[in-house]
Structure 1
Amino acid sequence: MGVTVREVMASKFFKKCDLIAGAGGLDREIQAVALFDAPDGYLWFKGKEFVLTTGYLFQQHEGLFRDVVLFLSEKNSAGIAIKVDRFLKEIPQDIINLCNEINFPLISLPYETAWIDAINAVNSLAMNKYIIRINEHQYKRKKNTSTYSLAKKANEVLEILHHELGKHILLFDILEDKAYSFPNIPRYKELHYQDLIDPVFSYQKEIICEHLKIYRIKNLEDKQEETWVTMPIVVGDIEAGYLLVKEDDKKIDYYNIFSLRLAFTLLVYIYEQVYYMNSIDGKFQDEFLQEIIYGEYKSNEKIYKRANSLKLNIAKSYLAICIQQDDESIQLDKYREKIAHRIYQVFSKDKVLFGLLEENRMVILYAAHQRILKNNADIKQICQEFILNLQKDILNSRFRCGIGQSIESIVNIKKSYMESIKAIEIGTYIYPEKNLITYKELGPFRLIRRESFQGEDFKEMTEDIAPLLEQDDGEDLLLTLKTYLESESNYNLAARRLFIHSNTVRYRIEKIQQLCDLNLNDATERLKLEITLKFMKFMKHT
């Protein structure tokens, strides 16, 4: 960003200052203001400083004056301003000639000038220059101020920042999984933000601003590789994106950091607008899903009209994905933004609609190509990734997921939703080790209704094994019978799974057959028992 010495000298505050020498260097860039009155203090200047001094050190040491000017010029400092009337009544002619020769601005400051006022004047000039540029840019594009298009607004910020810094600017939108760059360079858009935030090669991470987590990433394996300045765009406690600046041989400086901070503020504001609109849309999505699933629409026409307003393609096939959290202390509505963030990470935004039906249950309508809808493995992988990410965001949460079958018309999505619910409720007992089950995986168990396991009905179904429950070792007998059946009636395999001797398994199975009068040689009897044992847990929950 910066300002030039020429711009500073033309400002109102510096009108009373005189340019003594070095007019050819008035276009030198200022990136910071520094005070100098220690004998060796100049040795720590790194370039582009506008140096203020009383001249105390130079009153008897013209040689030091000359060394300082040469050093600052070589470091590409912007210039030096001296209170001539304080200690130096006049500047030696040799110093004036030197400054003219090397085009290094030498300026006289009035005696009464306060350091803080001079520093603030330069800082304000640099900051206001960037703010004015933003306002002018916004004025030119005021027709776009009513839109909440992240792409348009983000590109405007990148363009302004590029013109200010003269460097390539990138924005990685984590929510949409997209990359924007200015100038538009396709190869940068193919990068993933993790490749630059946490690269696989050896790198050095330099802190530029710890509070805003601005870092410089330098490749230690390839000295020719460019460095990147990275900055997370955080809305609430969600990382919505990353702003990156590609550095060349010239590093960004103090006023550049201020430009970055302003760009950060603008981008956070833009993202907040997007999140606000998404939260409003989210409420409408909840209502639509509740109404369509609970059958509150009286005509298909109203469903199609509402679906169109939510940008749903009613010509596509959809399936319902139900995700449930059983911990009543966790209310999903409080995590809506995190849920949306994670959903759009794994699902294409234009193919998914989600809503919260209850405090602990969400539903996702997913529209995809028929090949994908029929391939349970692909859908399960996407859902599993979503669940794992969400469990990282919400402490102590444990989600279970059910996936219904695809429906040709969104009007009938309730059918797929009920299938996803059944996949959770019945699948939990068939596959207790799984947290994600498809309706298709239930197989013939999809014919079972949960209501069948309530009260007396279920007790009648378990009459055959009721005698086992009266035994002191009843729990061991039930576990042995269940494991034996799951081991295809193989004593040795069941013994290995139970970590007991095979003779113990034989003894228990014989005891079970005597107590319950069972014929385990009958395949149908074995199937009935295996199903009953699968759902024994229902008895404990009803």
Structure 2
Amino acid sequence: MNLTVEAILKSEFMEGARLLAGISALEKEIKYVDIIEVPDVIDWINEGGFYLTTGYSFKDDLQSQKELVQTLSAKNSAALCIKKGRYFSEIPEIIVKTANELNYPIIELPKDKSYVDILLPLSSMLLDKKTYLLKHSEKIHQDLTDVVLSGGGLDHLAQTLYKLINKSVLIQDREQKKLVFVGDKEDVLKHEVYIPEAKLKKMLLKDNINLIKSEKQSRLMTPVKVSGSILGYVSIFTGENSDIEKIDYRALQHAATVIALEMLKEKEKTEVEKRLKVDLFNDLIQQNYNSEEIIINRALNLNWDLEKNYLVIVFEIDDFESYYRNLEASQEYQIKDIQDKIKRIIKRRLLQEHKDLIVINKSSSFIVFYNCEGLDQEKRKEKSRAFAEKIAAEIKKEIASTKLFAGFGGHYQGLDGIRKSYHQARQAIEMGKKINKESNLFHYDDLGIFKVLVKLDNRECLNEFNKEMLGPLLKEENSDLLKTIEALLNSFNNKREAARKLNIHRNTLDYRIKKIAKLLDVDLQNSENWLNLYLAFKVKQML
């Protein structure tokens, strides 16, 4: 318990003392006791000081008397005790008046009360309190450590902390979602548990432990950290009839340390599971297994049912390498935070749609096995696209600086089908980003001729073909002619439509067509030449 002015006034050694001012400030905590009898004492005053004086240093100066009270109040000291007798027969009115204006406690001591009568018992009480705090702090630390060492989880830790400090305990993950709550639910209901991210960051920059007060209660909150990365938060709450005490700060510090150990254990388990999933996925995609039965059983151990039919969606963070380039080595955990947050968003959406939770994170990619059984092709495409759009929207909302691409493969049967769908989803992203810069969602079915072109590995051959077909038009001075032939191809050689798209006169278009035919030395009446030009433009988009 805190040692307050009110508690001291009720003590036997303060018999005969009289409170003259500051009746509403008796809850002030006393942290130490001292005597002030010399001039220029202002620099010695500190928070929580309980000061004794005869008034010698300010007995003849009304302004000094007023300034002393103002300083004592400004520095949040506990109280000033003035002894009647040698210098004051009555406590000066200016002191009492100023103290009442500032709601600062002034206590009158009787003539026969010596300093020793107060100093000895009060110092003893303060020492006892420090000893109690130290012992209680050690007990809290030991009890919480014992819980972790005995294999107790977050539930057990929260229960133990609740019993030790008799205050409600809330443990949250880094998204501020409740993991464990122990205590009076009313404590939490009276308080806004979620704190907006920007506000929380600002709070944590200022203090590691934050006291958040409302009319009906107080909340003490601190992050749970490991190597600079926030894993979650732990808070304690008071009701209307209690307040945050000094021991609560120490308890919260101890709790954050042991909760970090427990969360780290859980994180390591998750990392092991993640590695197992990535290994399984790699073996599946690379056909690194002797029998389908073995890999299906390995998957079942990870709660994956590979005997269902899946459509594979690949989500990819745009320009992921730039994140690393722009971050210092000590900030690399921020990349991990982004990856974890994206994975949680995807899993949350899968749960909302009652889908299988098969999500694999490989560097900048997130691979989802999306179950569309029972739907026709059109519905599968519609549902999977809607799912990806919601994911992209949530990520844009929660991680504003991150853009996500999504590629969709087809829906096939068996392990070969999963493998095929994955490669298609990858190709959809790779080609989609080149041929449709306005979109971030690409379906393999929509690639058209690019499905064939993407299988041509010889880029040198493709470059040669491109130059052979479009050569002179690729020069900067002929950019208008290049746009003209492209408009004609996209308008199926409809000259009126092409002229409209280019916003030029039909005669200008005819002139350009003749110039193109001459530069390329081709007959534009020949359908095979048009096909070659069409393919050349598609190759140009690819390269």
Question: Where on the TM-score scale, by shorter chain, does this alignment land: which range?
Answer: 0.5 to 0.7
Contact 2:450 2:538 in 1 (8 A): no
Offset of residue 297 of structure 1: 1.4
2:431 and 2:542 in contact (8 A); partners too: no
Letter of the aligned partner of 1:260 in structure 2? Answer: L
Q: CA deviation at 1:172?
A: 3.1
CA contact (8 A) 2:473 2:481 kept: yes
Q: 1:420 aligns with which of 420, 425, 435?
A: 425
Structure 2 CA distance for partners of 1:32 and 1:512, relative to 1, 3 Å: farther
User: Which runs of 5 or more structure 1 residues have no equivalent in the other structure?
Assistant: 10-17, 23-27, 92-105, 146-151, 219-223
Task: Tell me which amino acid in the other structure corresponds to 1:240.
Answer: L
Q: Structure 1 residues 88, 380: CA separation in 2 closer, same or farther (over 3 Å shift)?
A: closer
Question: Which of 259, 263, 267 is matched with 1:275 structurally?
Answer: 267
Q: Is the alpha carbon distance of 1:444 and 1:467 closer, same or farther for their aligned partners in structure 2, counting shifts above 3 Å?
A: closer
Q: Root-mean-square deviation (CA), in Å?
A: 5.3
Shift of 1:42: 7.2
User: Does residue 441 of structure 2 align to residue 436 of structure 1?
Assistant: yes
The answer as to 2:207 corresponding to 1:211 is yes
Q: Is the 8 A contact 2:278 2:360 kept in 1?
A: yes
Q: CA deviation at 1:535?
A: 2.6
**Residue of structure 2 in register with 1:196 after alignment:** 195
2:479 corresponds to which residue? 475
The aligned residue for residue 251 of structure 2 is 259
1:43-62 Cα deviation digits (max 9, x unpaired): 57989x7x8x9x77567569
* Aligned residue in 1 for 2:231: 240
Partner of 2:451: 446
CA–CA distance in structure 1, aligned partners of residues 206 and 401 of structure 2: 23
| Matched position secondary structure for 1:433 | coil
Per the TM alignment, residue 239 of structure 1 is displaced from its structure 2 partner at its CA by 3.9
- Structure 1 SS opposite 2:367: strand
Residues 76-91 of structure 1: matches in 2 within 5 Å?
A: 87-88=114-115, 90=117
Contact 1:205 1:217 in 2 (8 A): no
TM-score (normalised: structure 2): 0.65
Question: Which of 297, 300, 306 is the matching residue for 2:289?
Answer: 297
- Kindly indicate whether residue 373 of structure 2 is the aligned counterpart of residue 352 of structure 1: no
Structure 1 residue aligned with 2:20: none
Q: Which residue is equivalent to 2:139?
A: 132
Contact 1:403–1:423, Cα closer than 8 Å, also in 2:
yes
Distance in 2 separating the partners of 1:495 and 1:125: 90
Candidates 358, 362, 387, aligned match of 1:379: 387
Aligned AA for 1:365? V
- How far is 1:410 from its partner? 4.9
Distance 1:321 1:144, change over 3 A: same
| Alpha-carbon distance in structure 2 between the residues aligned to 1:241 and 1:487 | 57
Aligned match of 1:37? 51
Matched residues in 2 for 1:169 and 1:342: separation? 28
Superposition deviation, residue 479 in structure 1: 2.6
Q: Does 1:535 align with 2:530?
A: no
Matching of residue 172 in structure 1 with residue 172 in structure 2: yes
Q: Partner of 1:342 in structure 2?
A: 342
Gaps of 5+ in 2: 16-25, 32-47, 53-67, 326-331
Could you tell me whether the CA contact under 8 Å between 1:322 and 1:403 is conserved in 2?
no
**Structure 1, residues 100-129: CA drift from partner, whole Å, max 9, x if none?**
xxxxxx97257xx7xxxx757534522532
Post-superposition CA distance 1:289-342 (Å, at most 9, x none)? 222211211222331233233332345444242536666676699744541333
Are residues 478 and 528 of structure 1, via their aligned partners in 2, closer, same or farther at CA, if it must alter by over 3 Å? Answer: same
Amino acid across the alignment from 2:182: F
User: In the alignment, what sits opposite 1:102?
Assistant: none
Query: Residues 447 and 503 of structure 1: is their aligned pair in 2 closer, same or farther, counting only changes over 3 Å?
Result: same
Going from structure 1 to structure 2, the CA distance change for 1:308 and 1:87 (only over 3 Å counts) comes to same
- Give me the whole-angstrom Cα distance separating, in 2, the residues matched to 1:492 and 1:187: 73
Q: What letter is aligned with 2:247?
A: Y
Query: Structure 1's 217 and 427: CA in aligned 2 closer, same or farther, altered over 3 A?
Result: farther
- Aligned equivalents of 2:525 and 2:180: distance in 1? 67
| Deviations, residues 110-154 of structure 1 (Å, cap 9, x unaligned) | 7xx7xxxx7575345225324424544664786534xxxxxx41x
Secondary structure, counterpart of 1:405 in structure 2: strand
TM-aligned CA distance change 1:183 to 1:205, over 3 Å: same
Q: 1:303 to 1:76 in 2, by over 3 A?
A: farther
Using the alignment, how far apart are the partners of 1:462 and 1:535 within structure 2?
10
> How high is the TM-score relative to the length of structure 1?
0.65
SS of equivalent residue, structure 1 residue 313: coil
What is the CA–CA distance in structure 1 between the aligned matches of 2:301 and 2:447, rounded to whole Å?
35
Q: 2:62 — aligned with what?
A: none
